[in-house]
Structure 1
Amino acid sequence: MPMARASSGLAYPERFYAAAAYAGFGGSPNSSKAVISKFQNDVALLLYGLYQQATVGPCSVPKPRAWNPLEQSKWTSWHGLGNMASTEAMRLFVKILEEEEPGWYSTVPEFVVEPVVDVEMNNPKSESVTQNGNSFPEPKTISIENGGMETQDKDVVLEGLGSVGVYGQWVQPSISGQRPKARYEHGAAVVQDKMYIFGGNHNGRYLNDLQVLDLRNLTWSRIEVKARPESLESLSPVPMAPCAGHSLIPWENKLISIAGHTKDPSETVTVKAFDLQTCHWSTLKTYGKPPVSRGGQSVTLAGSTLVMFGGEDANRALLNDFHILDLETMTWDEIEAAIGVPPSPRSDHAAAVHAERYLLIFGGGSHATCFNDLHVLDLQNMEWSKPMQQGDIPSPRAGHAGVTVGENWFIAGGGNNKSGVSETVVLNMSTLVWSVVTTVQGRVPLASEGLSLVVSSYNGEDILVSFGGYNGRYSNEVYVLKPSHKSTLQSKIMEMAVPDSGTALHNTTNATRDIESEVEAGQEGKLREIIMDNIDSESLNVKSEENKERLLTALKAEKEELEGSLTKEKLMSLKLKQELAEAETQNTDLTKELQSIRGQLAAEQSRCFKLEVDVAELRQKLQTMETLQKELELLQRQKAASEQAALDAKQKQRSGGVWGWLAGTPTSQKTDEASE
């Protein structure tokens, strides 16, 4: 499924179908009931044409033969769009609706009917399973490229995560209880063998429910949130606004929800906490300068601090800023003077912290492309670097999810603007070696955007748990994976081929500083080593003061030569350092210029889009004027015919006279008799 990125970080199809439902276009694209009586003006006709273009494609039906101004106008509106791409038609549809009625989103129905889109073939399909009021696929069997077939046996039900009997493959365990509504871009966290799910997006509507899956018996239940707190007077009770694209972090006995897209976004990021004992939401008061509101960011726990990077603000501007929230003092700190080049602005990326020192950023997307680059920030020295990746480097993706198990960073799901990503990969954060864990086949929620990924423990073994996602349809399925030792073994094999791989992160972030120290220390050590070797070898043969003097003279000359060589090496090192600084300055200038050009291009694209809308509106107005002209001409002809008929009737009445009328003789008969 094309995963084009739209406003508020949502895919175009879901927002389009929500807008279409609001505008009155219901049912399937080819349904005769899809067109509802909303064609009283040119805007309605334009929306009709865009809807048909987005759902059916270019107009291929013949022009209506029967004289019907409404049907002809609808056909002309659709036919005039030519070969416009469906995604472009979706974008124009939503844009025009938002310009005409800015408040449409607040009244959108809770459930929107949309066609099921095949991820691989991009064709509508009707096969789906309805459960708990939601439509979602029924992947009873997960096809694995490197592991055969995994079939769920409904007759064998074990307790909790103990039902997972295979390693290195995703399986779908038996789940009981009322399942949550299907969703993506939700928050997920594990506290004491329970996975909590909060918020998310379903059919373009933000959610604010809090669901919990007991991982001991795999049973879903819903948490009833209390309106007011029973304690903690420093926290102010607030109703939790529906949101998506936020981050859910477990801290002490609370769930911290931070940032995210909302219907009415605030200016800055808000931090809210759910107390698992009192079951209430509260807004936490923070100090310092909070970041601008956003969604699709990454928030990672490092010790007692939250590390936030990137995202997309309420105006769809991509970000690459870096902020730290101290959870003990609740104080924000923006890091503006980090050394090195940070990642480009992006959202829907994945982040992890290794050894409570290194922040790793992988992938993500802009408005037009997805990334597979890896960036590392040394949280002690505040220095960005882009290390060399090893192994099976993953393909570009955005909307993926990641979780760490020891020094391994597992990443699943995501999309690349064409389809969902099917492989689950793992990165050894010490060696920076990638390897593929498993690959799924078919349209399953594991190959989707906006899924969640957490880790739990059962009998001393770590187990990954995935929930939700969107790949043309929304999911509320749970999948689990028990990591094997395969990825660790592959990482060790790669580590043997990479010198000093155990300190890859440290060497990467300190490479520039180490070059200078190694040159100086190496040259001085070489000088001492040569002098001592010469003394040891020659001193045994020195038998006179003359020989000693000659030896000292030779050693002094050699020392002066080595000192001269050392001076040249220092000058060369200084020159290289200056060239490196100039290259970094030039790179920074080029980056700024590129961002400026991108800004200008975005402005031109916006202006071009406005012109396209204006042209489309003018075309519709011209069509309406032509229709009105035809109606006017018809009315004029009808009026002339009516006036002529009235005039003829009046003349006949005058020729008959009153006496003919009294005698009952028709005027035409008297005229005939007179002629005889």
Structure 2
Amino acid sequence: MASAKSASSGASEESKVVVAENGKMVDVQDKEITMEGLCSISSYDQWTRLAASGPLPKPRYKHAAAVVQEKMYVFGGNYNGRYLGDMQVLDFKSLSWSKLEVKSQSEPSELTGTTSLAPCAGHGLIPWGNKILCLAGHTREPTENLSVKVFDPQTCTWSTLRTYGRSPISRGGQSVTLVGDTLVVFGGEADGRSLLNDLHILDLETMTWDEFETTGTLPSPRSEHAAACHADRYLLIFGGGSHSTCFNDLHLLDMQTMEWSRPQHQGITPEPRAGHAGVTVGENWFITGGGNNKKGVSETLVLNMSTFAWSVVTGLEGRAPPTSEGSSLVLHKVNGEDFLVSFGGYSGRYSNEVYALKSSQKSNLRSGQINEPETNGLASVSMEANSSRGVIFEIEELQDEKVIKRADTSKTLLQAVTGEKNKIQEKLNQEELQSSRLKQELANAETKNVELTKDLDLVRNQLSAEEARASQLESEISELQQRLQKMEALEKESELLRLEKDADSDDSSSGSNQRPGDRGFWRWNG
């Protein structure tokens, strides 16, 4: 896996960047490709360098990017061992860079509070409506738990979302994947360089964290891996690295059964890698960049998530972002075409270049492929309409009747949809009310839990004091028992001496030479 420790020495090296153009490799230092926009890219499945205008961002890697309303937002990253905290924006329409001046929020809402986001790297950015969520990442002064930040491009403000439940510990290099209405956080590297393979899920409707128990064989602890969602049900994990090795394994988690499995892949076998980037186009998962203990990976791969078949899309020599470690990769659609956009990364030197690839892979369901049976029927009739004028009139009458029927059907469907929408809205309001009540109950329970914890600590302290006192009493009792045993021994000895004394006294009193009134030794001594 490529290391940032060699970045300071490699940053000064100037090497040629080569891109694929019409199947040939072209040195972009000798020939710069000037682009008016993504639409000017004509070739499919080839990386093309974009010459964007405006002040270029500082080169970086391990940053994050997200697309909101025709713009790519790039936040944070690492450059020469220093964390970055700037927000850079690439406008896809004008293909120009600009830097946003982030402001503080003057009136925080009930759910959010004003915050200043510390410079970080190894975090994740997720589009959330017209806003952007930011999770995790390494910082200079790490916090104990992971917090969720939200950026509003309209007001240029960062805020902290109020979440419930037990937040995951802080980390960087994890994966953050949007699965339905939830965010799934997996793995990463915690403070102290400990690797993780835990799974945490944030419900974006209730803003509640949950840590689910899973079955099957978990992926080994790792960071700098890639993750994707398939069919709003399956979470895929590919690659990543530990402190000593990189992986090329593929793991699948069924979010309904919470069971891990290792699908049998087809096609090529990917090289082990970490620090790569991924993005999905329909059922195809594109993987770019990354590196291992031996080298960087230059091929762009695609995995069909239905068949688990790996294949190579294209290759790119040199040190361009799509071959780098820690580059960002986003998807942007223009006129029905899918474009992969790569920015930044590290491959011996830090990059601030932008590359784009127009994908020939399409989603299985396309609006242009959906045909209506009625339209096909009318078309087949119209092919025979040249024979007579009467047939044409019949076709026109048939079309009018079907238009009327469609209008009536559309009106009925609209009424039904409106009624269903009202029911759903009413149910949604009830659910929001119930959610608000549950949140309040949860807050009360947490407060009560804090009080009970304090009481429990007090009782534990008292119990410890009583245990110490009991131990002291046991020691004193043991000492008293020893004294009592000594006293009993002395009493027995005294009794024996008394008996001997009485015996001697009797012998003395019966002697023939005993003088009257003579008491003997013991009596005198007594």
Q: Does 1:476 align with 2:475?
A: no
Query: In the alignment, does 2:14 pair up with 1:115?
Result: no
Measure the CA separation in 2 of the matches of 1:166 and 1:150: 14
What amino acid maps onto 1:13 in structure 2? Answer: S
The answer for the alignment partner of 1:193 in structure 2 is 70
- Structure 1 counterpart SS, 2:191: coil
Letter of the 1:312 counterpart: E
* TM-superposed deviation, 1:445: 2.7
For each residue in 1:126-154, what CA deviation from the matched residue of structure 2 results, as whole angstroms up to 9, or x when unmatched?
Answer: 553xxxxxxxx563x4258x922246697
Please name the residue that 1:429 is paired with. 305
1:469 alignment partner AA: G
Structure 2 residue identity aligned to 1:429: M
Do the aligned partners of 1:298 and 1:308 also contact (CA within 8 Å) in 2?
Answer: yes
Cα deviation for residue 277 of structure 1 reads 1.8
Q: Identify which of 211, 229, 242 aligns with 1:366.
A: 242
The answer on whether the counterparts of 1:299 and 1:309 sit within 8 Å (CA) in structure 2 is yes
Aligned to 1:348: 224
Bigger share in strand: 2
User: Deviation above 4 Å: which 4+ runs of structure 1?
Assistant: 150-158, 485-488
Task: Quote the sequence identity (%).
Answer: 64
| Map of 1:313 onto structure 2 | 190
- Contact 1:178-1:221 within 8 A present in 2 as well: yes
1:19-47 per-residue CA deviation (whole Å, 9 max, x = no partner) reads xxxxxxxxxxxxxxxxxxxxxxxxxxxxx
Secondary structure of 2:38's aligned partner: helix
Q: Which residue is equivalent to 1:297?
A: 174
How far apart in 1 are the matches of 2:342 and 2:304?
A: 20
> Residues 105-144 of structure 1: CA distance to partner in whole angstroms, max 9, x if unpaired?
xxxxxxxxx3327xxxxxxxx553xxxxxxxx563x4258
Shift of 1:173: 1.8
1:13 and 2:9 aligned: no
Instruction: Work out the CA distance in 2 between the residues paired with 1:471 and 1:449.
Output: 6
Q: How many residues align?
A: 363
Q: Distance in 2 between matches of 1:156 and 1:482?
A: 16
1:88-107 equivalence runs, <5 A: none
Partner of residue 442, structure 1 = 318
Q: Which aligned pairs between 1:144-543 and structure 2 lie closer than 5 A?
A: 147-150=23-26, 157-230=34-107, 232-335=109-212, 337-485=213-361
Q: Kindly state the Cα deviation for residue 270 of structure 1 after the two structures are TM-superposed.
A: 1.0
TM-score (norm 2): 0.66
Instruction: Tell me, yes or no, if the aligned pair for 2:103 and 2:156 is still in contact at 8 Å.
Output: yes
Instruction: Supply the AA of the counterpart residue of 2:9.
Output: P
Q: Distance in 2 between matches of 1:174 and 1:142?
A: 13
Moved more, 154-163 or 415-424: 154-163
Contact in 2 for aligned 1:437/1:487 (Cα 8 Å): no
Give the secondary-structure state (helix, strand or coil) at the position aligned to 1:197.
strand
The residue number in structure 2 matching 1:647 is none
Check the 8 A contact 1:229/1:278 in 2, yes or no: no
CA distance change for structure 1 residues 381 and 220 in 2, over 3 Å: closer, same or farther? same
- Write the letter of the residue equivalent to 1:483: S
| Residue 436 of structure 1: how far off its partner (Å) | 0.1
Letter in 1 for 2:82: R
Larger radius of gyration: 2
- Post-superposition Cα deviations, 1:338-362, rounded to whole Å, max 9, x if no partner, equal 1101100000000000000000000
Query: Would the aligned equivalents of 1:426 and 1:487 in 2 still touch at CA under 8 Å?
Result: no
1:177 & 1:154 partners in 2: Cα distance? 20
Unaligned runs of 5+ in 1: 5-10, 15-113, 118-125, 129-136, 489-676
Q: Do the aligned residues in 1 keep the contact of 2:254 with 2:260 (CA within 8 Å)?
A: yes
Contact 1:347 1:365 in 2 (8 A): yes
Task: Choose between structure 1 and 2: higher helix proportion.
Answer: 1
Match of 1:466, as an amino acid?
A: S
Q: Give the match's secondary structure for 2:187.
A: strand
Contact 1:227–1:239 (Cα < 8 Å) also in 2: yes
Kept after mapping to 1: 8 A contact 2:282/2:362: no
Q: Which runs of no fewer than 5 residues in structure 2 stay unpaired?
A: 365-526
Counterpart Cα distance in 2 of 1:341 and 1:216: 46
SS at match of 1:309: strand
Counterpart Cα distance in 2 of 1:291 and 1:155: 46
Does structure 1 conserve the Cα–Cα contact (< 8 Å) formed by 2:184 and 2:201? yes
The 3 A distance-change label for structure 1 pair 358 and 448 is same
Task: State TM-score, norm by structure 1.
Answer: 0.52
**How many Å separate the matches in 2 of 1:428 and 1:471?**
28
1:190 match: secondary structure: strand
| Deviation of 1:256 (Å) | 0.6
Is contact 1:322–1:334 with CA below 8 Å preserved after alignment?
yes
AA aligned to 2:2 is: M
Task: Judge conservation of contact 2:16–2:27 (CA < 8 Å) in 1.
Answer: no
Alpha-carbon spacing, 1:286–1:233, altered in 2? closer, same or farther (3 Å)? closer
Native 8 Å contact 1:199 1:209 kept in 2: yes
Equivalent residues of 1:363, 1:396 under 8 A apart: yes
Pairwise CA distance, 1:223: 0.9
Deviations along 1:159-188, one digit per CA (max 9) or x if unpaired, are 321221211111102210111110000010
TM superposition shift of 1:232: 2.4
- Distance of aligned partners of 1:222 and 1:388 in 2 relative to their CA distance in 1, 3 Å threshold: same
Looking at structure 1, the residues matched to 36 and 323 of structure 2 have their Cα atoms a distance apart, in angstroms, of 27
Give the drift of 1:3.
Answer: 1.9
Q: Give the distance between the partners of 1:314 and 1:207, measured in 2 at CA.
A: 19
SS at match of 1:475: strand
In 1: Cα distance, 2:209 partner to 2:193 partner: 23
- Flag the 1:438–1:487 CA change in 2: closer, same or farther, 3 A: farther
2:449 is matched with none
- The one-letter amino acid paired with 1:457 is K
Please give the secondary structure, in 1, of the residue aligned with 2:86.
Answer: strand
Where does residue 521 of structure 1 map in the other structure? none
SS in 1 for 2:322: helix
> What amino acid is the match of 2:341?
V
Distance 2:263 2:298 in 1: 25
1 CA distance for matches of 2:139 and 2:200? 21
C-alpha deviation, 1:329, in angstroms: 0.9
